[in-house]
Amino acid sequence: MARLVMKFGGTSVANIERIRNVARHVKREVDAGYEVAVVVSAMSGKTNELVAWCKESSALYDPREYDAVVASGEQVTSGLLAITLQSMGLKARSWQGWQIPISTDEAHGSARIQEIDGTALNTGFAAGEVAVIAGFQGMHLPTGRITTLGRGGSDTSAVAVAAAIGAERCDIYTDVDGVYTTDPRVVPKAKRLDRIAFEEMLEMASLGAKVLQVRSVELAMVHQVRTFVRSSFEDPDAPHMGTVESAGTLICDEEEIVANQMEARVVTGIAFSKDEAQVSIRRVEDKPGVAAAVFVPLADAHINVDMIVQNVSADGRTTDITFTVPTADYERAKDVLNKARDTITFETIEGATDVTKVSVIGIGMRSHAGVAADAFKALAAKGINIRAITTSEIKISILIDAAYTELAVRTLHSLYGLDK
């Protein structure tokens, strides 16, 4: 019998009425003949409440006890959904991460899954049970301590469970009905995509799209877990809800997309992130090892660096290095560099937080020339200045002034025909 993993986020299980709605979605798939595992998040707002309690108890809380507290939100939801399913005549039981077990490393608050033993779940499936699994959590087996996977970690839990039990696919139910060419709140003409490649979704998730957690997409790509993004707020019994693509977006291998259309799209979507800050180090002594002197201290401080631009002066003696960091790390990054000033040898540090990174993404860019040139020309025509540029095989990212974000996104969305 085919297996299916269904994941429901916090807004989908925000109250008992919505949990009943989730149960109807689950029953539809059970009635269709699937062995079903359901992964649930905490009820909307509960994790924030639990985090606040930890911080109120102590500013320097023990991260192990923090995980014990915040993991409880998912435990409540899994039990409530199991009770609701039982009331509908289905066999169901709740599972906590440590009961399966979902084995993780010891990085409390941001643990990574190492292994999932599906033996116990298989026994439940054989007995006709729906497995209702608390997402976001696992266990560090050597210490026996509960761990959590970081915010949005239930997506990762669901994909990992799907890989472990050999599921046909992993359905991620959320408050939107799929992945769009860009944010519909910025571009009303944005279109829902029927399919998107793992690589494209990974770029979109990492570059600002909020539909899926980045780690979940990485895991899906590595283990080839077909992942279906759909809305939990549609009528569970509507005819189209029983078919893939008519009710959401399928994230799958690139070959599956090409096989379903005459030719790969050039551009699939436009992503943007306002959570960016620009740091520029002026007149750095240009010598071997200077890049390491700049970026190693930042890495040691766990500050993620993204776009990097280096300009050497005309005399070849100094260089300017510009890069971006998350806005939350902006002041910390400048502090780290100032402390390393004797090693780096620079004149000044400049920066800006009123910037946005806009990215053009598409697997078709591999085989089409001029995609970047068209973007630069279109933005120039709108008077939008580009501060920095980075590219990859399937992505172009540009850094611009935040005031021009919506204009840039709309311009690029129209330029590549995504409005049509």
Is there a binding annotation on residue 390? no
Residue 10 is labelled as binding a ligand: yes
User: Is 173 labelled a binding residue?
Assistant: no
φ/ψ of 300, rounded to 5, equals -65, -30
- 74 is annotated as contributing to ligand binding: yes
Any binding-site annotation on 198?
A: no
Please tell me whether 210 is known to bind a ligand. Answer: yes
Query: Residue 348, annotated ligand binder?
Result: no
Contacts of 4 (CB under 8 A, 6+ apart): 29, 34, 35, 36, 37, 167, 168, 169, 170, 171
28 known ligand binder: no
46 is in an annotated binding site: no
> Does 175 show up as a binding residue in the annotation?
yes
Distance of alpha carbon 12 from alpha carbon 22, whole angstroms: 7
Binding site listing for substrate: 47, 74
Binding site listing for ATP: 7-10, 174-175, 180, 185, 210-211
Binding site listing: 7-10, 47, 74, 174-175, 180, 185, 210-211
